[in-house]
Structure 1
Amino acid sequence: MFGRQKEAFMSIARELSEAALNIRYDNLPTEVIRETKRLILDALSCAIGAFDAEPCRICREVAREHGGAGVATLIGERDKVSVSQAIIANETMVRYLDFNDVLYFPKSPGKIGGAHPSDALPAALAVGEREHASGKQVIAALVAAYETIGRIVDATAEGITTLGFHHGSVMPFAGAVIAGRLLGLDAGQMTNAMGIGASAAIGLGINDAEGEEYNNTKNIADGLMAERGVFAAYLARRGFTGPDRIIEGNKGFAHSLLRGVENYIVKPLPNDHYLMRTKMKFFPTESTNQGHLAATTLLVNEHGLKPDDIAEVVLRMSKRTVVHNGDPVKKYPRNKEGADHSAYFMTALAIVTGGRVVPSSFSDAAYADPVIHGLIEKVRLEHGPEYDAITPAALVTIRTTDGRVLAKRVDHPRGTPENRMSDSELRDKFVECAGERMTSDQIDQVVETCLALDTLDDIGALMPLLAVRSQHSHPGSAS
């Protein structure tokens, strides 16, 4: 699929474009098609779960205010806005709970290169709805986007974030690929779209950085960058040009964000697909928290542990998890954005909730809970070099007040490719996220439609099924 030997003058963006356009639904392995549909369902559950969150409500209100032509549906509503506004508002919902999928690769100790590929789903839904794309077309476009994202983040020597940029900086490429396929662009036009979008939409890492308190921008960043790639594709369709050498050119993407390792982007592809390496999340928390949180909940459930039973909790894990999620700024979080990235808070929350950590576990009351604060003081983080190459693996040791020492190691938490969630568990996740916003019959219909997405002649048929009953209804929305 890739190979620098093809044509010496061919740019990397052109190779990525040709590879993306060469993906055909009919040639995809059955397991890739099935997993793509499951990833779509997973991301939609995250969006529905975040529907009533204040940042998501604000984004939908702004989308309606500036929405333009009504061609793309806001998830959870029946209102339609412009493609651009729908992408931004819907991605904010997909991202808010930090429950959506992740694709990453351990690099040097303390570093990973990764992204959240499902942040590109709103682009596929918005463009697909406007262009009346079929379910098969959307599936193939998403596979192409996941492969493009995987190729770029796998190429980084230490991760894009090491140089101070946001991991969502790959999203202009994903947006260009998705829109390019669904708009019928050729390889030259898609290359232009990548150049236009990526040269004008690179994010700063401060929205996901140690030493900084998290805020609402964490949720919207990927959507803003994906939208630029989509907008660029519409420009390219009309003949607008961008830098062909956006990746390897002077002061381009590789020079600025990849330490000049662009050749890795086009090394021969492995036999599998990057999409199949994508991790779903069993808990609504940062990806490398998944291992130690799985171990903690197992210990809490197996031994019936209560807050008063805890003398000390030691989390032994990768350097990256210790540094990123053990950041002192996150020790006592004041919002969802900080809480789901705090190893301290998540451990205490798991104990207080009896091992059941779900989206509804997060609240202002939880952030101020003196019991949780007391448990946080009993949590100690420890770097285990043996876990650097296998993050999110972790060992949790709990010392109880009656002198017991309980330990549990988890290498592959639920949701990883080695320990995939079942369809039944995905439905359970959707139920947890939807809460009272959807009836059981409606949830069943959404699940069935997503898992049979390739039978849809028009992806737009999916969107009305997602309308919810919200506490923040407005004229024209579902109620």
Structure 2
Amino acid sequence: MSLTRDLIRLIRAKPRDRLDLDQAALFVLDTLACALGALNTEPARILKAIAPLETADTPRSAFYFGGLSHILEMDDLHRDSVTHPGCVVIPAALAVAARDDLGGVAFLEAVLAGYEACCRVGMAAGKAHYRVWHATSTCGPFGSAMAVADLIGLSEDQAVWALGNAGTQSSGLWQFLESGAMSKHLHTARAAESGVLASLMAAQGFTGPDEILEGKKGFFVGLCPDPLPEAVTAGPERPWELTRTSIKPWPCCRHTHPSIDAALSLHDEIGGAEIAKVTIGAHQAALDVCDRHQPQDPYSAKFSLQHCVAAALTDGAVVQSSFDTSARTRLASARAKVEVGLAAGIDAAYPASWGTELSVETNDGRRFTTARRDAKGDPENPVTALELSAKARAVLADGGIGENRAEALIAAVLALPDDAPVRALDLFPNDKGGPDARYQ
């Protein structure tokens, strides 16, 4: 018996109820809003050029939406696995569900299954994996393959093959951060596409390795210095991992969010006083990815603890324009006052808790301190359905989506738990597998 087979059995035996479906619909709304809200960006233009909207290629449709969903850095995040499951699982499931004209219930159940596979493999990858490998990209193909396997009714053996061949396509290195390159969007695009390909091929009898995770030349040996294989099947009675996933309120790396949350809480209290020094105590993964004193472009600024906290303390808000050239120039002096370091207690609680310790000293001798165990949007501090709909409207507006179309999309997504057809989302006209031109 392989870990992959055990994982598939765990997922397929797991009970689901209406509340689970309602939660899944909210994550679908969040992901689609993030995707469509990115339509006016340069990476979106390039994705469209190589994955044209009119394509009838289902894997390539998943590729397009997978890349699009991650551009704004506002898509969801599962803390324990350090993955963004929505931008990989939902595009894959959506492409197939729309192609096959499936109902909302089957689609949402597949989304639940895909999140479960992605997150459980991610939790098993261990902490050291994330230092070199982008876990969403490496673990995501397991999730997209599992979602599609359920949608197209693969047998257990076929599903094992699908996850085996999804895992052999795992890839995605952090090197792009050194120059602010666009690779991260390719990571999620390929992770979504890889899972679709793996499951569609398995349906035709294309075999894959049973022991892709624990085998002598498998995923753990190749990519994970400190794997936790038992995490793949631990706690089968837990709620669905989707319900343990966080929604992002701010358009930047989730590792910066606890510090943003803390800084925003101090903004009014400081009352415009001149700041002398800011100290952030973070977990090691945040330092590995987000210790950037001088970000040179919008994307690296989104991965800069110093910049994000400077924006929060100075402006009392962190929005898309907080990372553009003028904002980076304006905030340079404030950013230079921010020091980051490891906080032992915060690091010990990671990844179950993504926290921060924040201290601000002003020129008039005052000192302000605060800490966060959980940031806004975490399951312990969740956004409400109303707040999520408000986020969706704002993000969609940024993408040039009109108010009427935005309201129609929100209503259509929230009707999915009542088994409304996936095609009612109007994202795949004429059975072609590309987003509706009306969203352009």
Same fold (TM over 0.5): yes
Indicate how the Cα distance of structure 1 residues 166 and 321 shifts in structure 2: closer, same or farther if over 3 A, else same.
Answer: closer
Q: Report Cα offsets for 1:201-229 as digits up to 9, x if no partner.
A: 33334345xxx233101122022022112
Alignment of 1:62-141 (within 5 A): 62-64=50-52, 79-105=54-80, 113-119=81-87, 120-141=89-110
Equivalent of residue 337 in structure 2, options 378, 396, 401: 378
Q: Hey, what's the Cα distance between the residues in 2 that align with 1:360 and 1:136?
A: 38
Q: Hey, what's the Cα distance between the residues in 1 that align with 2:51 and 2:367?
A: 53
Indicate how the Cα distance of structure 1 residues 158 and 401 shifts in structure 2: closer, same or farther if over 3 A, else same.
Answer: same
Contact 2:116 2:143 survives alignment (8 Å) = no
Indicate how the Cα distance of structure 1 residues 395 and 161 shifts in structure 2: closer, same or farther if over 3 A, else same.
Answer: closer
Alignment of 1:3-402 (within 5 A): 10-23=1-14, 27-64=15-52, 79-105=54-80, 113-119=81-87, 120-162=89-131, 164-167=132-135, 168-207=137-176, 212-259=178-225, 261-305=228-272, 309-326=274-291, 330-352=292-314, 354-367=315-328, 369=329, 371-388=330-347, 389-390=349-350, 391-402=353-364
Q: Report Cα offsets for 1:218-275 as digits up to 9, x if no partner.
A: 1220220221121111111111111122122220112223346434423342432212
Q: Hey, what's the Cα distance between the residues in 2 that align with 1:464 and 1:228?
A: 21
Give the CA deviation at 1:53: 0.9
Indicate how the Cα distance of structure 1 residues 201 and 149 shifts in structure 2: closer, same or farther if over 3 A, else same.
Answer: closer
Give the CA deviation at 1:31: 3.1
Give the CA deviation at 1:336: 2.9
Contact 1:218 1:337 survives alignment (8 Å) = no
Structure 2 SS opposite 1:397: strand
Indicate how the Cα distance of structure 1 residues 218 and 28 shifts in structure 2: closer, same or farther if over 3 A, else same.
Answer: same
Q: Hey, what's the Cα distance between the residues in 1 that align with 2:281 and 2:231?
A: 32
Indicate how the Cα distance of structure 1 residues 314 and 150 shifts in structure 2: closer, same or farther if over 3 A, else same.
Answer: same
Q: Which residue of 2 aligns with 1:427?
A: 389
1:450 aligns with 2:425: no
Contact 1:315 1:379 survives alignment (8 Å) = yes
Give the CA deviation at 1:142: 0.8
Indicate how the Cα distance of structure 1 residues 134 and 35 shifts in structure 2: closer, same or farther if over 3 A, else same.
Answer: same
Q: Hey, what's the Cα distance between the residues in 1 that align with 2:252 and 2:56?
A: 30
Structure 2 residue identity aligned to 1:282: P
Indicate how the Cα distance of structure 1 residues 298 and 231 shifts in structure 2: closer, same or farther if over 3 A, else same.
Answer: same
Q: Hey, what's the Cα distance between the residues in 1 that align with 2:210 and 2:307?
A: 46
Unaligned 5+ runs, structure 1: 1-9, 65-73, 106-112, 467-474
Indicate how the Cα distance of structure 1 residues 53 and 254 shifts in structure 2: closer, same or farther if over 3 A, else same.
Answer: same
Contact 2:92 2:195 survives alignment (8 Å) = no
Give the CA deviation at 1:357: 1.1
Aligned pairs, how many? 427
Q: Hey, what's the Cα distance between the residues in 2 that align with 1:317 and 1:263?
A: 27
TM-score (norm 1): 0.83
Q: Which residue of 2 aligns with 1:406?
A: 368
Q: Report Cα offsets for 1:440-463 as digits up to 9, x if no partner.
A: 333222222222212244212113
Which region of structure 1 is more displaced relative to structure 2, 241-250 or 152-161?
Answer: 152-161
Indicate how the Cα distance of structure 1 residues 262 and 322 shifts in structure 2: closer, same or farther if over 3 A, else same.
Answer: closer
Indicate how the Cα distance of structure 1 residues 202 and 459 shifts in structure 2: closer, same or farther if over 3 A, else same.
Answer: same
Indicate how the Cα distance of structure 1 residues 240 and 32 shifts in structure 2: closer, same or farther if over 3 A, else same.
Answer: same
Q: Hey, what's the Cα distance between the residues in 2 that align with 1:452 and 1:121?
A: 16
Which region of structure 1 is more displaced relative to structure 2, 293-302 or 198-207?
Answer: 198-207
TM-score (norm 2): 0.90
Contact 2:67 2:185 survives alignment (8 Å) = yes
Unaligned 5+ runs, structure 2: 430-435
Structure 2 SS opposite 1:419: coil
Give the CA deviation at 1:104: 2.4
1:459 aligns with 2:422: yes
Q: Hey, what's the Cα distance between the residues in 1 that align with 2:234 and 2:393?
A: 41
Contact 1:166 1:206 survives alignment (8 Å) = no
Q: Hey, what's the Cα distance between the residues in 1 that align with 2:255 and 2:72?
A: 15
Structure 2 SS opposite 1:314: strand
Structure 2 residue identity aligned to 1:226: A
Segments ≥4 residues shifted beyond 6 Å: none
Give the CA deviation at 1:380: 1.1
Which region of structure 1 is more displaced relative to structure 2, 335-344 or 251-260?
Answer: 251-260
Q: Hey, what's the Cα distance between the residues in 2 that align with 1:424 and 1:268?
A: 31
Indicate how the Cα distance of structure 1 residues 303 and 427 shifts in structure 2: closer, same or farther if over 3 A, else same.
Answer: farther
Q: Hey, what's the Cα distance between the residues in 2 that align with 1:297 and 1:101?
A: 21
Structure 2 SS opposite 1:160: helix
Q: Report Cα offsets for 1:347-395 as digits up to 9, x if no partner.
A: 122234x21112243323323x1x3111111111132111111542222
Q: Hey, what's the Cα distance between the residues in 2 that align with 1:392 and 1:161?
A: 15
